[in-house]
């Protein structure tokens, strides 16, 4: 008996499903792509319980005959290509012919379709790869596919799915990517019976972005248009100084296909290196077009990644185009280095200078160098620091750290003699052992972190109501995250009221926060929730992560500081439980002892 055998089609389809259908969002992606390839101008997507129990995609595309519908459920059956050479002139989203049989092999799959030349439609029901029935049905022209009980035939796969909330977020993100890719088609997305967004046909990309991401986001964008022989870049990019804490709103399309391209992503980040602080990402909705033969879309099972024939050429073209647009918006030409058209160097973030442009709209949250926040420019001069080192006013709110009652003795404050303040960021002290350089920001962040963590644990977070509430417009995913966590945020000083679909008002903020900082802080906070940096299930870890994020945002360093203020900072730092590092793990100070100094001077 031979040891090598050909697998049955059902088993082969289930194996293919493991590569193509990673999660419910992959099902929605494949079905939406088929709808767009069929010429649909109206697409409705509905799902329940994160896609586990139901996913339905209905369109008004060309539809299929009975023979074509049956053939579409066979492996490698496609209407998109006929030979290998067609991959070099691909103009459709799908082309492999694996999606439908793979989905049908791991779910209860129902397809209803009708083409314009037929009086009746066709209904096909497949359960776990087995045909249940094929019969006539009545329906309008187009296709309706309903997928239920995903992975019911492979229960081991269900264990690898994330929470309903996480899977739902991936589905929402998938649908809005294709809604952006095709503004001429109307999209409706329904989750658990609730309309997440309904976007009609849009004339421009800006209108579609306003529908999906909100008008505040759309108003912070400017048009981008650039062409070179064989290359074209268009879309909308953020103004200098407008950034996000995550890459979720840095979206790129290659020949109208949403992809995750490292080449294009790094080109965008490089372009904004002089326009955004480190750790911030640009807003971008850009469409890159090139000859289909110059890009390979068949390098990933889910078609998420692409490979360019000449990546250096693509990268340098995108950087030149974006930098040229930023210069038109006021970024000084001397602050940016434009790659030559044939420049094929490997560019790295680490090699670019970090100076900020002269006319950049500075975000007080994002600035790395110490600045005076806008809310304090007109304030009265700061009062002298009190003689007792138990209090310190490093920002707009007084800061006092107290020892735990369990502490038996007062903290040991080192006997450091202040010498000077260097570059507004480092305080230089003389000690018996040598010299100490204190990082003001890192020290302040440690002090703030422990104070806020104690407040959050005790539930005593003082807040201030705003005379004028701050308006906030979010995209559907961020709005859902906010609604789910509004009680948690309220317990930590942020009072937020819903004011319409995806619209909110910030009505109260913690006393340590400037009202003008409320909106960017909340956006960053929602980004941290979305990325999983703030856990949902463990409240203690969530409070600590929130305190860490808040401490980094709360610090406002004036350019100058008196000796008494810096000595008070040292006392406050050594009153904390972990004075050696900031909440992010950076050293708060470094010490150069006599031996190190002697070695440096060759003594």
Please check whether residue 40 is in contact with residue 60, taking contact to mean a CB–CB distance below 8 angstroms.
Answer: yes
Whether the predicted pLDDT of 303 surpasses 70: no
Mean pLDDT of 500-522: 86
SS3 409: coil
**Domain co-membership, 526 together with 459:** yes
Per-range mean pLDDT, top range of 80-89, 201-210, 311-320, 481-490: 311-320
How far is it, in rounded angstroms, from Cα 151 to Cα 516? 48
Across 231-235, 247-251, 577-581, the highest mean pLDDT is recorded for 231-235
Contacts of 379 (CB under 8 A, 6+ apart): none
Burial (CB count within 10 angstroms: exposed 0-12, middle 13-18, buried 19+), residue 29: buried
Kindly state whether residues 72 and 192 are assigned to the same domain.
Answer: yes
Residue 145 and residue 254 in one domain: no
Domain boundary residue among 296, 330, 351?
351
Residues 192 and 81 in one domain: yes
pLDDT tops 50 at residue 351: no
Q: For the chain, percent helix, then strand, then coil, each to nearest 5?
A: 35, 25, 40
- Domain span at 306: 220-351
Mean pLDDT of the chain: 80
3-state secondary structure (DSSP) of residue 36: helix
What does the pLDDT read at residue 540? 79
Q: Interhelix angle for 539-554 vs 440-458, to 10°?
A: 140
Structural domain contains residue 225: yes
Q: What is the pLDDT of residue 341?
A: 44
Percent of the chain scoring above 70 in pLDDT: 79
Residues 6+ away with beta carbon under 8 Å from 77: 71, 97, 101
Residue 284's Cβ-count burial label (10 Å; 0-12, 13-18, 19+) is buried
**pLDDT at site 518:** 87
Q: What is the pLDDT of residue 365?
A: 30
Burial of 222 (0-12, 13-18, 19+ CB in 10 A): middle
CATH number of the structural domain spanning residue 453: 3.30.1370.100
Query: 285 pLDDT exceeds 90?
Result: yes
- The verdict on 225 and 301 lying in the same domain is yes
Which range (77-81, 136-140, 141-145, 361-365) has the least confidence?
361-365
What are 131-161's pLDDT values in tens digits?
999 999 999 999 999 999 998 777 777 778 8
248 and 113 both lie in a single domain: no
In a domain, 560, yes or no: yes
Residue 274 belongs to a domain with what CATH number? 3.30.230.10
Does some domain include residue 406?
no
Across 144-148, 452-456, 473-477, least confident range: 473-477
Say whether both 238 and 312 belong to one domain. yes
Across the range 430-444, mean pLDDT stands at: 90
Q: How far apart are CA 70 and CA 48, in angstroms?
A: 27
pLDDT of residue 333 exceeding 50: no
Helix (H, G, I), strand (E, B) or coil at 439: strand
Q: Confirm whether pTM is higher than 0.85.
A: no
The verdict on 241 and 291 lying in the same domain is: yes
Give the per-residue pLDDT at 260: 86
Assess whether 460 and 331 both reside in one domain: no
Flag whether pLDDT at 163 surpasses 90: no
pLDDT of residue 7: 64
CA distance 510 to 374: 18
Report whether pLDDT(516) > 80: yes
299 in any annotated domain: yes
Count the neighbouring beta carbons within 10 Å of the beta carbon of residue 399. Answer: 20
Q: What is the CATH number of the domain that holds 120?
A: 3.30.565.10
162 falls within a domain: yes
Same domain, 122 and 88: yes
Task: Write the burial class of residue 473 (CB in 10 Å: 0-12 exposed, 13-18 middle, 19+ buried).
Answer: buried
Q: Is the pLDDT of residue 350 over 60?
A: no
Share of the chain above pLDDT 90, in %: 32
**pLDDT in the model for residue 346:** 36
- Confidence category of residue 278, pLDDT binned at 50, 70, 90: confident
Say if CB 493 and CB 547 are below 8 A apart. Answer: no
Region of 211 on the Ramachandran plot (φ > 0 left; ψ -120 to 50 alpha; else beta): alpha
- 3-state class (DSSP) for residue 513: coil
Other beta carbons within 10 angstroms of residue 134's beta carbon come to 14
Using the 3D structure, point to which of 166, 199, 232 is the last residue of a domain.
199
Phi, psi dihedral angles at 530 (to 5 degrees): -70, -35
| Claim to verify: residue 27 and residue 159 sit in the same structural domain | yes
Q: How many domains does the chain have?
A: 3
- pLDDT one-digit tens code per residue, 245-260: 888 889 999 999 898 8
* Residue 340 confidence (pLDDT): 47
Q: Residue 392 in 3-state DSSP?
A: strand
Q: How far is C-alpha 207 from the geometric centre of its chain's CA atoms?
A: 21
176 and 252 housed in the same domain? no
Mean pLDDT, residues 161-183: 87
Query: Is the residue at 437 inside a domain?
Result: yes
Count CB atoms within 10 A of the CB of residue 74: 13
- Among 351, 373, 403, the domain boundary falls at 351
CA dist list (Å): 450 to 445, 475, 545:
9, 33, 12
430 found inside a domain? yes
Is residue 440 in a domain? yes
């Amino acid at each position: 008996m031979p040891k090598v055998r050909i697998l049955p089609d059902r088993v082969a389809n289930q194996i293919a499903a493991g590569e193509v259908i990673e999660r419910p969002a992959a099902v929605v992606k494949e079905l939406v792509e088929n709808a767009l390839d069929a010429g649909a101008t109206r697409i409705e997507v509905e799902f329940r319980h994160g896609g586990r129990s139901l996913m339905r995609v209905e369109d008004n595309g060309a539809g299929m005959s009975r023979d074509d519908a049956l053939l579409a459920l066979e492996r490698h059956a496609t209407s998109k290509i006929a030979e290998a050479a067609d991959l070099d002139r691909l103009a459709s989203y799908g082309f492999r012919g694996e999606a439908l049989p793979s989905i049908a092999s791991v779910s209860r799959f129902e397809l209803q379709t009708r083409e314009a030349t037929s009086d009746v439609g066709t209904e096909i029901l497949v359960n776990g790869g087995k045909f249940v029935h094929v019969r006539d049905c009545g329906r309008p022209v187009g296709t309706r596919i309903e997928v239920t009980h995903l992975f019911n035939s492979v229960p081991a796969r269900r264990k690898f799915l994330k929470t309903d909330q996480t899977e739902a977020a991936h589905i929402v993100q998938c649908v809005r990517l294709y809604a952006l890719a095709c503004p001429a088609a109307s999209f409706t997305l329904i989750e658990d019976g609730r309309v997440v967004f309904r976007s009609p046909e849009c004339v421009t990309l800006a209108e579609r972005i306003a529908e999906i991401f909100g008008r505040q986001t759309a108003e912070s964008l400017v048009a981008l248009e650039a062409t070179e022989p064989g290359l074209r870049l268009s879309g909308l990019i953020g103004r200098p100084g407008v950034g996000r804490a995550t890459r979720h709103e840095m979206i790129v399309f290659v020949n109208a296909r949403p992809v995750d391209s490292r080449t294009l992503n790094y080109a965008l980040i490089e372009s904004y290196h002089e326009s955004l602080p480190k750790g911030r990402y640009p807003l971008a909705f850009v469409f890159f077009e090139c000859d289909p033969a110059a890009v390979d879309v068949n390098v990933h099972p889910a078609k998420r990644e692409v490979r360019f024939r000449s990546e250096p050429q693509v990268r340098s073209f995108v950087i030149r185009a974006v930098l040229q647009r930023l210069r038109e918006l006021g970024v000084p030409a001397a602050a940016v280095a434009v790659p030559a058209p044939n420049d094929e160097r490997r560019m790295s973030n680490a090699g670019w200078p970090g100076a900020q442009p002269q006319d950049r709209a500075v975000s007080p949250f994002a600035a790395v160098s110490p600045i005076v926040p806008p809310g304090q420019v007109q304030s009265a001069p700061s009062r002298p620091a009190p003689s007792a080192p138990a209090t310190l006013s490093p920002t707009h709110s007084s800061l006092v750290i107290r020892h735990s009652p369990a502490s038996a003795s007062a903290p040991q404050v080192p006997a450091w003699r202040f010498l000077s303040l260097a570059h507004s960021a480092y305080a230089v002290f003389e000690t018996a052992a040598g010299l100490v350089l204190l990082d003001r920001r890192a020290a302040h962040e440690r002090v703030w972190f422990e104070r806020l963590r104690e407040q959050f644990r005790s539930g005593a977070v003082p807040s201030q109501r705003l005379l004028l509430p701050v308006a906030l417009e979010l995209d559907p995913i961020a709005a859902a995250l906010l609604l789910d966590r509004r009680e948690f945020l309220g317990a930590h000083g942020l009072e937020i009221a819903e004011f319409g679909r995806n619209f909110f008002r910030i009505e109260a903020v913690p006393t340590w926060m400037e009202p003008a900082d409320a909106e960017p802080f909340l956006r960053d906070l929602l980004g941290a929730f979305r990325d999983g940096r703030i856990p949902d299930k463990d409240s203690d870890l969530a409070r600590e992560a929130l305190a860490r994020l808040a401490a980094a945002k709360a610090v406002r360093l004036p350019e100058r500081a008196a000796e008494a203020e810096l000595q008070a900072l040292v006392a406050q730092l050594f009153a904390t439980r972990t004075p050696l590092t900031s909440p992010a793990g950076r050293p708060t100070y470094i010490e150069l002892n006599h031996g190190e100094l002697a070695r440096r001077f060759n003594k």
